[in-house]
Structure 1
Amino acid sequence: MGTKRHMADHVRDAIAELNAEGRVVDLFSGMGSVAESLQETASVVTNDAMSFTAALSRARFTGSDRSTTSAEVIERLLPGYEARLRELESTYAIELKSEAAALNGSRTDLLDYMDKAQHVGNSAAHRRSAKVAAESSGSDHYELASLYFSAGYLSLRQAIELDATRAAIDTDSHLEDRDWMLAAWIAGASVLINAPGHTAQYLRPNSNSAHTRIVRTWSRSIWDEFSSALDTVSQVGSEAWRQRNSVYVGDALDLVSAGELRDIGTVYADPPYTKDQYSRYYHVYETLYRYDFPDSSGVGRNRSDRFTTGFSLKTAVVSSFHDLCRNVSRMRVPLVISYPSSGLLGEAGITVSEIALQYFEKVKTQSYEANHSTMGASTGASKKSATENLYVCLV
């Protein structure tokens, strides 16, 4: 949902001009666009509040060169996958039959199937099953996607495949491949998630075009997408570069205030700029990765413990920027911030430069035209033009 891919080259160039020695910290790393752009410039420390993005970062930006091929991984996982798949197919035989009939029927049939489908958010029986699965140490543990997200974000058939694939990954003995496999598992699922570019809500067959899209998407295989993603989730940069990188998971302000970062030359921050708490757009991926059987509520089947940040609160955005600038200035390194003119800070009546100049000797500003996502575009255009600013804060 973010905008860092089109900004990555500008950020890389700004950092390169600083000629600062040490690693670059990307405090809000997301899917790693900036880290990837720095592979020829500097080693990186990535940080994000979401655990699932850290798996992708570890798979791409850390570790030795892989000695295993995708085909070898598939061969290794296939028996475990097929074993759990058969168990789940037996457990959900009646529901799978109902789903097949709905997919072969009319738009009304599919809508009715989705409306009546049970999941942890609306079914006491499913909540009991989730508790049993959470406490199981055997193959019965692997049922989360089926219990939480089937007949909504995924078809039941796809959810079963997702659970069976996770069972095979978790029982694989090649731990050096674990982040790669989990990253491919998440990436494969993302291709088929029945949602408008984020997972705050799933799509319903409220029109003929939506019906066609869901039927087409639900006919595709999670296992096939996982197999393809093993090839696409490739390592970035040289082995020497990756071995100097680090990956953190947590609040960006906590990271810069803890005093634990070492060998740092520059800090880059791309904080949230709207009142939307971004974790609600990624909760499905986070729950899948953590596989922790949380509570679930609402149409979006949301977990209640989603991460929140002061950068997305009008009452806290100013103090959050002060905390960011204060703590980075104490590290005596430059701070590079990307933030749009239309951000929440501007609504509070203050600019990034005004805050940064209280902690840094000089702030240079560069501006670029950009397109920002409208978070799924339930009404109007999916993109809107904005002015993205790059603030280079010098000690």
Structure 2
Amino acid sequence: MEQLIVARKEAGKVVVRYMGTKRHMADHVRDTISELKPDGRVVDLFSGMGSVAESLRETASVVTNDALSFTAAVSRARFTGPDRSTPSAEVIERLLPSYEARLHELEAVYAVELKTETTALRGSRADLLSYMDKAQHVGNSAARRRKAKLAAESSGSEHYELASLYFSAGYLSLRQAIELDAARAAIDADVHLRDRDWMLAAWIAGTSVLVNAPGHTAQFLRPNSESAHTRIVRTWTRSLWDEFGLALEAVSQVGDEAWRRNNSVYVGDALDLVSAGELRDIGTVYADPPYTKDQYSRYYHMYETLYRYDFPDSTGAGRNRSDRFTTGFSLKTAVVSSFHDLCRNVSRMQVPLVISYPSSGLLGDAGATVPEIALQYFGDVQTRSYDANHSTMGASTGASKKSATENLYVCLV
């Protein structure tokens, strides 16, 4: 499912903080799928950041799929490709000239704004709040939208200004946004294409460490209290380029080269993937569909826009893209038919389907259950239940997590 990345170097792995995480369920899913002895690859239809795919590295090769493009870059960097031989320090050295060239250009363009931001960060809470309120971005300024259009159409270094135009003085400081744009210019100019997914995954992961947000990017934090002011000042004065270097170390490959060679990464609607009839060598399908009415893509629009670097239409203080992905699993009027589509199309593949879904999911609100739908397409459905804590998505009030019963439904042909 959808998730917020927070990357840290820990035992050579990417540590991620999810909303709707399956990290706590990954071992249960792995053990369940192992018992099925899949005769072929395991498809993870809603793979997100890949905690389940990672857990299967000793069990079976995997096919990951997610509706968001930025997560696919992370999956490709971690689950595919030959063993890396290039040290991260060498990547930094390789990118540095292009990075510094674009950085100096943007520093000149935004010299006045950078000075204003520095003054605000050194000033009072009211000073910082005023700076954020007055800052222009594509969501509130026709001039910035015109500038974004010119940048989108540019084939030179002027193309690299998206983060500065969209996310500065909100999700990031202007200084960090400039560094982010300069780093992307360097990555796109690099001729070592085999390292591209690794570099982009680290670029996104490094950004996620610094993002000024409560647990998602539907909105950013404002200095409405002394503690929030302190947090923003501390975060905004950190270097994106430094975090990118750390993230290059953290975005490590999973499994051995033989396992990664047989893995595949898809981007798209899960129901489209299983209905297309294009999947081959499949032994089991695992599905972890959204379970609330929230269209989670709005929580990750910033990462998606950064990765795609496509200068989309953007609205409001949240700078949301206008073409966010939506799914029927998060619509009460469509969740039942979505489950029917899922079960119908996987049953045609003649392989087991394992579904993660909580007892409190939207499907129950629509008056249906997973077993009653699945039994229309599969010969047997087994239910395994586990206690879990679900994120409340960075809610400003109440507990950050709530108890829930997570179910694994094993649907057998």
Task: State whether TM-score is above 0.5.
Answer: yes
2: CA distance, partners of 1:338 / 1:302: 29
SS of equivalent residue, structure 2 residue 315:
coil
What's the counterpart of residue 252 of structure 1? 270
Match of 1:117 among 113, 120, 135: 135
Match of 1:343 among 339, 351, 361: 361
1: CA distance, partners of 2:329 / 2:343: 13
2: CA distance, partners of 1:324 / 1:299: 36
1: CA distance, partners of 2:232 / 2:261: 42
1: CA distance, partners of 2:56 / 2:20: 18
- Tell me the alpha carbon deviations over residues 137-167 of structure 1, each in whole angstroms, 9 at most, x when there is no partner: 0100000000000000000000000000000
Instruction: Indicate yes or no: 2:318 matched with 1:300.
Output: yes
Matches within 5 A, 1:19-168: 19-168=37-186
Q: Percent identical across equivalent pairs?
A: 86
What's the counterpart of residue 9 of structure 2? none
- Tell me the alpha carbon deviations over residues 250-300 of structure 1, each in whole angstroms, 9 at most, x when there is no partner: 000000000000000000000000000010000000000000000110121
TM-score of the two chains, using structure 2 as the length reference: 0.95
Tell me which amino acid in the other structure corresponds to 1:18: L
> Please, which runs of 5 or more residues in structure 1 have no aligned partner?
none
2: CA distance, partners of 1:20 / 1:183: 30
What's the counterpart of residue 385 of structure 1? 403
What's the counterpart of residue 333 of structure 1? 351
Task: Give the C-alpha shift of residue 375 in structure 1.
Answer: 1.1
TM-score of the two chains, using structure 1 as the length reference: 1.00
Tell me which amino acid in the other structure corresponds to 1:301: R
2: CA distance, partners of 1:71 / 1:214: 29
What's the counterpart of residue 8 of structure 1? 26
What's the counterpart of residue 178 of structure 1? 196
- Tell me the alpha carbon deviations over residues 98-140 of structure 1, each in whole angstroms, 9 at most, x when there is no partner: 0000000000000000000000111111011101100000100
2: CA distance, partners of 1:22 / 1:246: 13
CA RMSD after TM alignment: 0.4
Contact 2:38–2:60 at 8 Å: present in 1 too? no
2: CA distance, partners of 1:370 / 1:253: 26
SS of equivalent residue, structure 2 residue 183:
helix
Extract structure 1 runs of 4+ deviating beyond 4 A: none
Tell me which amino acid in the other structure corresponds to 1:182: L
Tell me which amino acid in the other structure corresponds to 1:189: T
1: CA distance, partners of 2:41 / 2:215: 32
How many residue pairs end up in the alignment? Answer: 395
Tell me which amino acid in the other structure corresponds to 1:228: L
1: CA distance, partners of 2:374 / 2:253: 35
Tell me which amino acid in the other structure corresponds to 2:25: M
Task: Give the C-alpha shift of residue 3 in structure 1.
Answer: 2.0
Matches within 5 A, 1:258-277: 258-277=276-295
Which deviates further from its counterpart, 140-149 or 372-381? 372-381
What's the counterpart of residue 219 of structure 1? 237
Contact 2:140–2:317 at 8 Å: present in 1 too? no
> Please, which runs of 5 or more residues in structure 2 have no aligned partner?
1-18
Task: Give the C-alpha shift of residue 377 in structure 1.
Answer: 1.4
SS of equivalent residue, structure 1 residue 376:
coil
1: CA distance, partners of 2:21 / 2:160: 35
2: CA distance, partners of 1:298 / 1:3: 28
